[in-house]
Structure 1
Amino acid sequence: MSKGLKTTLIIIAVIAVIFLPLIGSYNSMIGQEQKVNAASSNIDTQLQRRSDLIPNLVQTVKGYAAQERTIFTDIANARARLSGAQNVTDKANADAELSGALSRLLVVVERYPDLKSNQNFRDLQVALEGTENRIAIARQDYNNVVTSYNTTIRRFPNSIISGIFRFEQKPYYKASEGAKEVPKVDFTQ
């Protein structure tokens, strides 16, 4: 074997040793980023499902509790904010606002025993509870894949690759500050 061929093979081997792991790391980051995007879409799907159930629930309650207009307005406003949310933080804040309004609506339901025994209302309430569980699982799944992705892009040597290709950390799905407080319900109005 000639000296030039040996040198060429050594150079090719060194390049392969350097670049193959980089390519593998890059592809791994792309795969994890796609998992984050998919998990975010799963949250959106469940939030939309809940948003679609709410008008039916509100209409059923309206027939029994017409004087509770502020709650219905709060729910409509929160749904509008949720559908207009552009990023994870805005979605989390709007989601918390909508959850609070729904909690107040369900407190109102307690005042109407006939409504609680209405089959349509009970069916809607069960569907809403199931959706709330799906939302909680989707949020947890999202945060798990974000943790994995953020850890991957910050570890060395991946941090170099993520810097070169501009992989940025993804935000966690967090409840808004107001969601930590118990909503105040005033029955004296």
Structure 2
Amino acid sequence: MDTGLVTTLIVVGVVVVVLVIIGIYLWVTDNALVSLKGRVDQAWSDIAVHVQERAELIPTIVDTVQGYASHEKSVFDDVSRARTETLAAGDASAASTAEGHMQKALKSVFTVAEGYPQLQSSQGFLQLQSELVDTEDKIQSARRSYNGGVRELNTKIRVFPNSTIAKKRGFAEATFFETAEPAAIAEPPRVQF
């Protein structure tokens, strides 16, 4: 065999191997980004489900407390506004703001409830409180899962050469589900009776 032909075959072989490696890398990176985006979307969906559960529970809690403390109208109006804001939030940024307002409003309702011993001993109210705490725990768990996925997706998008692939494929960094007051959502509203 001619040494020129062997050299050409080696060069072509190396080029083909490099192109295959680049192609595999692009394919793996694209699949990873799609998978991470799917994980973030699923986690956001979980948050939305739990927020909806809480929104369905809040009117019953408000009605129960309002039966004892009807003069606390501003507290109940705040909860109603926070509930509406939470349900209307379309993205993580708006939901973060709404969540801070909701936590403050719920704490106000339970602070009012503390002043009524008959309410505190009511089985119905205790059951509602237990359901709310359970729902808040689910929201916090879903929030942690969502934020973990966002952190992973954003890191993958920022790293070169993934950033060029992500940009060309239309992947954008996701927004964390946070609040301006982390203490407001650090612990679900709990009232000890």
Shorter-chain TM-score range: 0.7 to 0.9
| TM-score normalised by length of structure 1 | 0.86
Unaligned 5+ residue runs, structure 2? 185-193
Q: What corresponds to 1:133 in structure 2?
A: 137
Amino-acid identity (%): 34
Distance 1:159 1:26 in 2: 11
Distance 2:183 2:89 in 1: 17
Is the CA contact 2:83–2:102 (under 8 Å) kept in the aligned structure 1?
yes
Matches within 5 A, 1:91-130: 91-130=95-134
Distance 1:24 1:92 in 2: 33
Q: How many angstroms does 1:135 deviate by?
A: 1.1
Q: What corresponds to 2:162 in structure 1?
A: 158
What value does the CA root-mean-square deviation take over the aligned residues?
2.3
Is the CA contact 2:39–2:149 (under 8 Å) kept in the aligned structure 1?
yes
- Partner secondary structure for residue 68 of structure 2: coil
Is the CA contact 1:97–1:179 (under 8 Å) kept in the aligned structure 2?
no
Q: What corresponds to 1:26 in structure 2?
A: 30
Is the CA contact 2:100–2:181 (under 8 Å) kept in the aligned structure 1?
no
- Partner secondary structure for residue 86 of structure 2: helix
Distance 1:17 1:178, change over 3 A: closer
Is the CA contact 1:100–1:179 (under 8 Å) kept in the aligned structure 2?
no
Q: Provide the aligned length of Structure 1 versus Structure 2.
A: 180
| TM-score normalised by length of structure 2 | 0.84
Distance 1:14 1:146 in 2: 32
Distance 2:21 2:145 in 1: 35
Match of 2:151 among 147, 154, 172: 147
Q: How many angstroms does 1:44 deviate by?
A: 1.0
CA offsets per residue over residues 45-96 of structure 1, 9 Å max, x none?
1111111110111111111111111111111111111111121111111111
Distance 2:182 2:40 in 1: 26
Q: How many angstroms does 1:42 deviate by?
A: 1.1
Distance 1:18 1:138 in 2: 36
